Amino acid sequence: MTCVSTNTPSLRRKIANVLDGKTVCGLHRHAPITYPRNPGRFSTLLRWTDQFLTQRPDATEDELTAVIRKLALFIIRRGRDDYFPEEIVDGLAWFASHPETISSKLGFGSAARLGRDEHIHRLREKARRAWTVFRADMRVPEPAPVVWAHAGGFTLSELVHPHHLLSSGGRAGNCLAGPRLASGYWLRIAEGRGKLFTVTQGELLCALFMLRGPDHVEWSYVHTPDGVWDFISHCVALLDQCLGQHSGSGPYIPHQYRCEEASTPEQQCKENDEI
């Protein structure tokens, strides 16, 4: 029971053992599986098995053997895995969260359907919770957005009320304009899992972005007047400093627009306020 490991060379050997009708540790137990032996097909099985171990690192020898067999047979019967990765993801998620079913006669396809149903149920419950929170907070008196920085006619503001999301979404013409979709974003804010900001120039909405954790940011640019990229660069530095975010990493702010030496705008940091 101690031979299970996510070490890739060892995992290759374990998968080969299962395809040969053995357990992952090499004990003869089952009939061999006629699985395509080209490197690409084997890598497919290796990748998905490694993902299962990421979700269930304490899987036993018998559990891993059963999952590899079920997955291999599922891929063989479907012909190619490229067309149904969602089913594989759902099936692996089901077995990882319901290990008591691994040793049963439940096939991978059935596990995938159960996993999908469970995932949809979670999404619906989350949507219901989000809508409940959104409607309740809409009845709270609306405060003004919290201003974090202001310079050169531009303002960085944090949206702190459901109406702020609807108003900004209407100006941007995006999904925040719809209460049902906006409620999902608001739930993250209400639960402390995200912060939503706008960059404006007077009444002109330039950009919206949401911080959802370190290195996770969603940008939406609406208008890009002269000077906005310099201001956004400073906003990124400000939020990195105050929230510990890497909010300017990646392709969100084109490098040619970043300004390294421009003056720092007025900053209003809020202490002990982390996502």
My answer on whether 47 and 93 are in the same domain is yes
CA distance 5 to 2: 8
- Sequence letter at residue 12: R
Q: Report the interhelical angle of 61-78 vs 85-97 (nearest 10°).
A: 160
My answer on whether 112 and 180 are in the same domain is no
The sheet with strand 154-159 has its strands ordered as 216-221, 204-213, 195-201, 154-159, 146-151, 266-267
My answer on whether 217 and 114 are in the same domain is no
Q: Which of 74, 103, 119 is the last residue of a domain?
A: 119
My answer on whether 161 and 246 are in the same domain is yes
My answer on whether 191 and 263 are in the same domain is yes
- Residue 97 maps to a domain: yes
Per-residue pLDDT of the chain (275 residues; tens, 9 = 90+): 445 544 444 898 999 999 999 999 888 888 888 887 777 778 888 999 999 999 999 999 999 999 999 999 998 887 654 556 889 999 999 999 999 999 999 999 999 999 999 999 988 898 899 999 999 999 989 988 999 988 889 999 999 999 999 999 999 988 899 998 899 999 989 988 889 999 999 999 999 988 887 667 788 889 999 999 989 888 888 887 777 655 544 333 333 333 332 233 333 333 323 32
Query: What's the domain count of the chain?
Result: 2
- Residue 124 maps to a domain: no
- Residue 2 maps to a domain: no
3-state secondary structure of 87: helix
Q: What is the DSSP string of 216-256?
A: EEEEEE----TTHHHHHHHHHHHHHHHH---TT-GGGS-GG
My answer on whether 72 and 161 are in the same domain is no
My answer on whether 84 and 151 are in the same domain is no
- Residue 38 maps to a domain: yes
Q: Give the range of the structural domain holding residue 230, as residue numbers without chain letter.
A: 146-267
Long-range contacts from 140-148, C-beta under 8 angstroms, 24+ separation: 145/198, 146/268, 146/270, 147/268, 148/197, 148/235, 148/238, 148/239, 148/242, 148/267, 148/268, 148/269, 148/270
CA distance 257 to 210: 20
- Residue 135 maps to a domain: no
My answer on whether 263 and 192 are in the same domain is yes
- Residue 48 maps to a domain: yes
The pTM is what? 0.59
- Residue 39 maps to a domain: yes
My answer on whether 102 and 174 are in the same domain is no
- Residue 130 maps to a domain: no
